Amino acid sequence: MTTAATGLAGTAFAGPSTGAERSSASATTNATAVVEAARTAAFAHASATGVSKGDELHAQDVMIDPEGARHVRFARTHGGMPVLGGDLVVHLDHQLGYTGVTRAAGHTVEPATTQAKLTADQAAAKAAQAAKGDAGSAQLVVDARDGSAALAYQVTVTDEQGTNTVVVDAVTGKVRSNTPDSDEFLSPKLLANLRKHGETIDPATGTASPEALLGSGAAAGFPSAAKGTGKTLFVGNVPLTTTQTSRGHYQLKDPSRYGTETRDAKGKTTEKFSAGTAFTNTTDVWGNGATSNRASAAADAQYGITKTLDFYKSTFGRKGIANNSKAAQGMVHWGNKVANAFWDPTCNCMLYGDGDGQTFKKPLVVLDVTGHELTHGVVDATAKLEPTYVDSDGNQYGEPGALNESLADVFGSNVEFYANNPKDTPDYLIGEKLGLAQKFLRRLDHPSLDKLEGTIDYWSPDTYYTEVHAGSGVSSHAYYLLAEGSGKKTINGVAYDSPTYDHSTVKGIGRAKATAIFYRALTRYMVSTTDFHDARVATLKAASDLYGANSTEYKTVDKAWAAVNVTAANTPAPRH
């Protein structure tokens, strides 16, 4: 594990003016000192941080706020073994003094025994049976999730659809978890529901816009940046920055955005981006606005990926999905009749299926799908929110997973607002271009209007047992109320009417400020086990950082969570 000295630019765009942002070079220079101060503070304040003898802390991210606070995100090992659910963020002031901690495990991470009864081969065999695939080698870990700590094996299992991470108890042989590594846009439960009702997803393709195609720029040397045009399926003709590899030859790769590229999987289920085929052409025009041209879907994907990168960079100063100035990648035409799209952390890329030809007629390359899925990549690079458990059909449950889905919807809708494409009107609806009978897949203002997934508006103790896409409504609703407020409102021609659990009236603070608060909460104050009550605390801390603890923004955060029935008073007791 290595230290990632990213010096995130934070969320000062909507906050008070508190001085100049530190440069990335300055942040990198100071990273070692910040990490060592945070590590020392974690052990000095062991009663609060939960670290103990045998623990080692490995820095994953260093964040330096404009107002001077520092935050170091750590992964933990115990006795040399990775600790699942052992992550924590140590918070420091501008003088590197300890100010607090956000920790995933609220208990000791030392297992009762460090002597495994199962061999690694036995654990791998159990994992292969559970996930129905080929198991890799088994690694001893400490599983500190869900209120306990146990010695376990972690195994990656691969099948033709991707990989699962399986955790097997090293003493009892029980499968403790079996989690898909990819974040699918459409859950198995939703797919089954659509097929049961005979409903199809068949998005209407956009017509080519009449403006003239952009010509390629003259270049003295190759490769060089060029100005191309994507003739997309869903958003008409769009400008794309491409690479001119030689005179009259182009590649769908953006040198101005870290080399971000979309490739053709050509029906393979590979999780290696290098195995995809580069899109090349003798003209700098990609696609024809229809599925008859393989590059049409690629143009949508490349446009969505680059707009998502631009949103994160211009809004938060985030340089790439993992904030490491590396390319974002996508592969279209992935697999044979795959009815989904997903973020795959194995290849750190977006994978888009073409649809199964029956329930799903076209590739899922619409803009908010890409913004949603790439945000899963941002979550993977920060809080690593995980589902609490997964059923035998692959449906995921639990509040941290639901919060992950919600953040993907929140920032996915923000990508739409940022792109402001007239052929994909910015809104607080998710999947509104998919052609569904209810006109959207999910919506943030009144989540329970989604009958396909049974999305919920408000928190209750049963939310723990709710499928993650359905449960996402709790925090998505809180975000909408924070941004736009309760009651009726029309934005860009779309009518909204947001209710509240306590029949209160919430006056929104605006989308920019609400988004700033949620992003800072994700990157600074959320960890792998953050639930909705933890998210309330995280967003309150973020609002306090940006606007002050006595500000209207802070008070509105509290009101928005109360309006979805998440309060300090009804915080559940820790699970054991």
Residues carrying an active site annotation: 373, 469
Burial classification of residue 198, based on how many CB atoms lie within 10 Å of its CB (0-12 exposed, 13-18 middle, 19 or more buried): exposed
Other Cβ atoms less than 10 A from the Cβ of 504: the count is 12
Closest CA to 305 of 286, 328, 289: 328
CA distance 130 to 159: 12
Q: Where are the beta strands (DSSP E) in 96-174?
A: 98-103, 134-135, 139-143, 150-159, 162-169
CA distance 183 to 172: 29
- Is 306 in contact with 361 (CB distance < 8 Å)? no
Q: Please give the structure tokens belonging to residue 425.
A: 């009107």
Instruction: Kindly provide the b/e burial profile for residues 387-396, where b requires at least 16 CB atoms within 10 angstroms of the residue's own CB.
Output: bbbbeeebbb
- Is 128 in contact with 120 (CB distance < 8 Å)? no
Other Cβ atoms less than 10 A from the Cβ of 195: the count is 14
- What's the Cα-to-Cα distance from 341 to each of 22, 37, 92, 401, rounded to whole Å? 37, 42, 39, 18
Other Cβ atoms less than 10 A from the Cβ of 82: the count is 17
The amino acid occupying position 271 is E
Closest CA to 215 of 157, 285, 159, 302: 285
CA distance 71 to 525: 9
- Is 36 in contact with 71 (CB distance < 8 Å)? no
Closest CA to 45 of 112, 93, 90, 109: 90
Q: Is 508 left (phi over 0), alpha (psi -120 to 50) or beta?
A: beta
Give the torsion sign (CA, 384, 389, 395, 401): negative
CA distance 60 to 462: 33
- What's the Cα-to-Cα distance from 440 to each of 166, 203, 424, rounded to whole Å? 34, 11, 13
Q: Distance between terminal CA atoms of the chain?
A: 29
Q: Which residue has the tokens 């990609």?
A: 286
Where helices occur in 135-216 by DSSP H, the ranges are 188-196
For 167-182, give the DSSP string.
EEETTT--EEEEEESS
In eight-state DSSP terms, residue 118 is: S
